[in-house]
Amino acid sequence: MHYNAQSSSTREAADFMQTAEVVIIGGGIVGSSIAYHLTAAGCTGVLVIERETAQGKGSTGKSMGGVRAQFSTKVNIQMSLYSIPFYASFDERLGHPAGYRPQGYLFCATHEKHLAYLRANYQKQVAMGLKDVQLITADEIRNRFPQLRSDDIVGGSFCPTDGFVDPYSAMIGFMTWATDHGARLWKNAGVTGIRIDHQGGALVETAKGNVSTRKVVNCAGAWAAEIAAMVGLGLPVEPLRRMLVPTEPFDQFPHSAPMIIDMSNGFHFRPEGLGFLLAWNDPEETSGYKTDFDAAFIEKILTRAAGRVPIFENLAVNPKRAWAGLYEMTPDHHPILGPVPGLPGFFLANGFSGHGVMHAPATGKILSDLVLTGKTDLVDASLLSLSRFAEGRMIEETAVL
């Protein structure tokens, strides 16, 4: 659906019209990375529009911050192979810390089918150029972490370059570099409308005034479908609550540990501060904008924690420190990236299904390439186009945490 770019309200505001080469809607880590990559590529007219009074109040500031290359699909592995080295050199490259800690991800298989799955993924990862990933035996897992209940563990996979970043710090680093080099950031500027004309011009209406542009990038995270609806576009992105539980200080498990994933039920945890951060994706969770923490979740997750790490029976948890955030889910757990046919100048960077932070560097590069040149060498961008859903080309990611 197209709109005339000169409604009566916009004509009245014409005298105060701002212009930008590219308007990015959403100032989280994905929008910030795109702003950085565009600016670094020489684009001088980048404007990022953030509806909140500060960045990171959406999903970015509530993320677990994990980064990994241990995926099951070629395109996700490719995005990680760009993103993780980027995070490793982030501080030097941008002059701002991202908090990258390469402590690894350890997948613990409790069934032969899990092992076959990890083996198939391993072969794909190695073929794609991931050098450090390794399949490990049950005895190796037991030797590394005797605190784990391991009677049912049959093996696993480990990659030492996987690990964690500080999502908030990385977001600020991207945006600070971008604004230092000419990009602009509007805070407290919710988008109220988008009008696209047939010649590829666009008008973005915000609480801070209107902006004329030829390129608009939707980076609105779990709220992306609302932005897409402003241009008459149906976007298959749904919010899904995920809850995280930090523990009080606990020193009976090594703080050098990787992210450890129990494949029997999906429970996973990693060191955080003087304690640990516990996560589990409750299969009974339903989609919706639920950002409240459900106290009943604590018993569910502590049961699973103690089931895999018996000494975690002694973990102390303060429910007031736990939180909930939103994943932005697509039907195949892959993002939707790139232009939209029939909507000239309108681009999507949505639906990361829990992988937005870890793939933010690659997303920034891909979108920057597509916006500025119409093509990218990083991935086969057609795999991630919106049209894949209508055309039955979904690429299911099964390694989702």
Torsion of CA 11, 13, 15, 16, to 10 degrees: -150
Q: By percentage, how much of the chain surpasses pLDDT 90?
A: 90
CA 205 to chain centre: 26
* Per-state percent for the chain, helix, strand, coil, to nearest 5: 35, 25, 45
Give the pair of three-digit tokens for residue 171: 């977001």
Domains (ranges, CATH) in the chain?
8-62+167-236+332-390 (3.50.50.60), 102-161+239-329 (3.30.9.10)
pLDDT at position 5 is: 37
| Per-residue pLDDT at 199 | 80
Quick one: average pLDDT of 250-261?
97
Q: pLDDT, tens digit, for every residue of 52-76?
A: 999 888 888 889 999 999 999 999 9
Q: Confirm if 293 and 243 have CB atoms less than 8 A apart.
A: yes
Instruction: State the pLDDT at residue 401.
Output: 72
* Amino acid present at 90: F
Reported as type and span, the H/E element at residue 79 is helix 74-88
Confidence at residue 327, expressed as pLDDT on a 0 to 100 scale: 95
Please state the pTM of the whole predicted model: 0.94
Task: State the pLDDT at residue 16.
Answer: 58
**What's the mean pLDDT in 226-235?**
97
| Beta carbons of 297 and 306 less than 8 angstroms apart | no
- Structure confidence by residue, pLDDT tens digits, 14-49: 435 799 999 999 999 999 999 999 999 999 999 999
**pLDDT score, position 200:** 79
pLDDT digits (tens, 9 = 90+) for 139-187: 999 999 999 999 999 999 999 999 999 999 999 999 999 999 999 999 9
Give the helix/strand (H/E) hosting 241: strand 238-246
> In whole angstroms, what is the distance from residue 3 CA to residue 370 CA?
24
| 58, 61, 62, 64 alpha-carbon torsion, rounded to 10° | 140
